[in-house]
Structure 1
Amino acid sequence: MAIAPTIPLDQPGAHHGFLRLPYSRDDSAWGSVMIPISVIQGGEGPTALFVGGNHGDEYEGPIALRDLALTLDPGAIEGRVIILPALNAPAIAAGTRTSPIDRGNLNRSFPGRADGTVTQKIAHYVASELVPLADLVLDMHSGGKTLDFVPFAAAHVLPDAAHQEACAAAMRAFNAPFCAMMLEIDAVGMFDTEVEAQGKTFVTTELGGGGTATAASVGIARKGVHNLLHHMGILPGAPKIGPSQMLDMPDGACFTFAQVGGLCETLVDLGAPVQAGQSVARVWPMGASGVAPTVYTAGLDGILISRHFPGLIQPGDCLAVVGVPVAG
Structure 2
Amino acid sequence: MHTGAYSDISWTENGKQIGFFSFPYSIDRSPYYQIKVPVCRIRNGEGPSLLLMAGNHGDEYEGELTLLKAIRAIEASDITGSLTILPAANLPAVMAAKRCSPFDGGNLNRAFPGDPYGQPTWRIAHFIEHEIFPRHEIVLDLHSGGTSMDHLVCSLVERLGDAARFARALELMKSMRLPYGMIADNGPDSPTSMAAALRAGCIGLSGEFGGGATVTRETMALTARAVDNLLQAAGITRGPILWTGADRGPETVVLATGGQSLFVYSEREGWFEPAVDIGDIVEAGDVAGWLHDLEAPLAEPEALTFAEGGIVLSRRLHTHSRSGDCLVNLARFEPAEQRGK
Kept in 1: contact 2:284–2:309 (CA 8 A): yes
Kept in 2: contact 1:38–1:82 (CA 8 A): yes
- 1:177 has 2:185 as partner: no
Cα–Cα, structure 1 residues 263 and 186, in superposed 2: closer, same or farther, change >3 Å?
farther
Structural mapping, 1:107-256, within 5 Å: 107-184=109-186, 188-236=190-238, 240-256=248-264
1:161-190 C-alpha deviation (Å, 9 max, x unpaired): 222222211111111121111355997311
Query: 2: CA distance between counterparts of 1:304 and 1:322?
Result: 5
Query: 2: CA distance between counterparts of 1:265 and 1:158?
Result: 38
Query: 1: CA distance between counterparts of 2:201 and 2:9?
Result: 27
Structural mapping, 1:284-303, within 5 Å: 284-303=292-311
Shift of residue 223, structure 1, vs aligned partner: 1.1
Q: Secondary structure at the match of 2:277?
A: coil
1:34-73 C-alpha deviation (Å, 9 max, x unpaired): 1010011113211101110000111111011111111012
Q: Secondary structure at the match of 1:181?
A: strand
Letter in 1 for 2:147: K
Q: Secondary structure at the match of 1:44?
A: coil
Match for residue 258 of structure 1 among 258, 262, 266: 266
Shift of residue 130, structure 1, vs aligned partner: 0.4
Cα–Cα, structure 1 residues 111 and 186, in superposed 2: closer, same or farther, change >3 Å?
closer
Match for residue 314 of structure 1 among 322, 332, 335: 322
Q: Secondary structure at the match of 1:18?
A: strand
What is the identity percentage for the equivalent residue pairs of Structure 1 and Structure 2?
A: 32
1:65-101 C-alpha deviation (Å, 9 max, x unpaired): 1111110121021011111000000000001111000
Letter in 2 for 1:59: Y
- After the TM superposition, which of the residue ranges 127-136 and 297-306 deviates more from structure 2? 297-306
Kept in 2: contact 1:163–1:199 (CA 8 A): no
Q: TM-score, normalised by structure 1?
A: 0.95
Shift of residue 241, structure 1, vs aligned partner: 4.4
- 1:84 has 2:86 as partner: yes
Q: Secondary structure at the match of 1:307?
A: strand
Letter in 2 for 1:147: M
Cα–Cα, structure 1 residues 286 and 163, in superposed 2: closer, same or farther, change >3 Å?
farther
Letter in 2 for 1:15: Q
- After the TM superposition, which of the residue ranges 79-88 and 216-225 deviates more from structure 2? 216-225
Shift of residue 24, structure 1, vs aligned partner: 1.1
Letter in 2 for 1:127: E
Letter in 2 for 1:132: P
RMSD value over aligned CA atoms?
Answer: 1.9
Structure 2, gaps ≥5 residues long = 241-246
Kept in 1: contact 2:100–2:108 (CA 8 A): yes
Query: 1: CA distance between counterparts of 2:65 and 2:118?
Result: 29
Structure 1, gaps ≥5 residues long = none
Q: Alignment length, in residue pairs?
A: 328
Query: 2: CA distance between counterparts of 1:119 and 1:161?
Result: 33
Shift of residue 250, structure 1, vs aligned partner: 4.1
- 1:323 has 2:323 as partner: no
- 1:271 has 2:273 as partner: no
Cα–Cα, structure 1 residues 99 and 86, in superposed 2: closer, same or farther, change >3 Å?
same
Q: Secondary structure at the match of 2:140?
A: strand
Over 6 Å off, 4+ runs: none
Query: 2: CA distance between counterparts of 1:229 and 1:74?
Result: 13
Match of 2:244 in 1: none
Shift of residue 102, structure 1, vs aligned partner: 0.6
Kept in 2: contact 1:275–1:302 (CA 8 A): yes
Letter in 1 for 2:235: G
Q: TM-score, normalised by structure 2?
A: 0.91
Match of 1:282 in 2: 290
